[in-house]
Amino acid sequence: MKVTIDDLWLKNDDDGNPPSRAAKRSLANSRDPMKANVPEKWRKSRYGVGMRWRCHWTIVKDGRRVQRVKQFARLAEAQEYAAAMEDDIRRGRYRDPRQELRVLDDVAGEWLASKVDLKPGTAGRYARELRLYILPKWGGMTLRELRPDMLQEWVGQLMDGGYPAALPDGRDSKPLSARSIRNIMKVVLKGIFDYAVSNGWIGENPVDRVTVPKIASDDDDMVFLSVREVELLADEAEKIGNPVDGLLVRWQAYTGCRIGESLALKVGDVDADRRRARIGRTWTDDGHGGSMLGTPKNGKARNIAIPRFLMPQIKAQMDGMGDDDWLFRATRGGNVWTNAWRTRIWNKAVKAAGMEDEGVTIHSLRHTYASFAIAQGADAKTLQMQLGHSSPSITLNTYTALWPERLDDVAYAIGALRERELV
């Protein structure tokens, strides 16, 4: 396929004679084409209007031949573009220039719709980050307009606060964590541009040249509570709310369940005789500011062990209820919403316990369980099964600092084995 260059200002005269060298030279040297010494016989109807040079070529799209054009003010620019275009065509790198004018809002919608293999919760999180952060800033801009330097400046705004955002209740934007910024930039926005590159709409992903803040090691923001601190928080939660609120605190600290998993439990999920609970669902973000039921984080159900001392409270909570009733239910019997419980009970309990400046979060209860279990001799595989990690390596990487060093114990055990075998 060949790219043709047309002169939109000059033509051959009626006898087929091309413009003279003198006329072309006069036009080239004149700032105002209307003042150039170019006889009327060589002037096209659009002489002096718009850009002079046009590249045009033909592609096959959806089985039809479609013409594409691009205009330039200078011949050298048109020739350079034509040569590059023909090289791209030969090498299979051709991109339709008009696709670069696609608006990010539209491309983002197509990208999200293409992610058919995502769990609903993950899709909801992507939709939320698009709605709250990405589209308010970049939604109306074209793919061509978004440059790495602009995105890099935005990263600084996300770190400092003051960026445009569609936050609920008219809240002001606040600095985001390194993990949040990385998810927005290197997962969602990068995914959108990767989608555009794979479709041949742009040549490279501008996000690849953007630096985001490093995430601290996983244990940097972990808080591990003592048993007394857990019990203090549970007692305060019960004072602020009801006995079920204290039970919910203890349940998470002594079973390691995530809050979404805990609040999605139903009475029928608990086997009181075996002291087991089946974790088969969780509350997750629906992408529209609400919650929906989905599968646990790794997509698999699991059975967890319940400590014996929790069973009297659990049985009391289950008493008189049907299998389809929520285990941790609201006063009127409905489900408890995570955000509502955090605001109404948890935050107040943390403050009442004097821990508001210690970085204690609901997820700290899950970390606390891991610290208790490891201290009592739990191995990585057992802990993985209880916590619902997808592999023991994730458990090890997350809590590696908590496992004691037992090199001397192993050396002693090998020596004892040798002595027994040689007797």
pLDDT confidence tier of residue 91, bands split at 50, 70 and 90: low
**Contact, 97 vs 91, CB < 8 A?**
no
Alpha-carbon distances, residue 203 vs 109, 198, 394 (angstroms)? 20, 9, 36
Does 338 map to a domain? Answer: yes
Q: Report the DSSP beta bridge partners of residue 6.
A: 54
Residue with the larger pLDDT of the pair 60 and 197: 197
**Same-domain status, 278 and 330:** yes
Residue 263 lies in a domain: yes
CA–CA distance from 35 to each of 24, 31, 52 (Å)? 13, 8, 16
Q: Same domain for 291 and 352?
A: yes
Instruction: Give the dihedral sign, CA 373/378/380/381.
Output: negative
Pairing of strands 4-7, 53-61: antiparallel
Q: What CATH number corresponds to the domain at position 312? A: 1.10.443.10
Q: Where a domain ends, among 164, 180, 209?
A: 209
Domain around 267: 227-402
Q: Quick one: 288 and 380 in the same domain?
A: yes
Give residue 92's pLDDT.
58
Q: Return the minimum-mean-pLDDT range out of 63-72, 92-101, 369-378.
A: 92-101
Examine the domain organization and report whether 163 and 264 are in the same domain: no
> Considering only CA atoms, which of 201, 136, 191, 385 is closest in space to residue 278?
385
Report the percent of the chain where pLDDT is more than 70: 93
Mean model confidence pLDDT for the chain: 87
Cα dihedral 40, 45, 51, 53 in deg (nearest 10):
-80
* Residues 89 and 110 placed together within one structural domain of the fold: no
Same domain, 231 and 368: yes
How many domains, the chain? 3
Between 200 and 175, where is the model more confident?
175
| Domain assignment of residue 343, yes or no | yes
Residues 308-318 have a mean pLDDT of 95
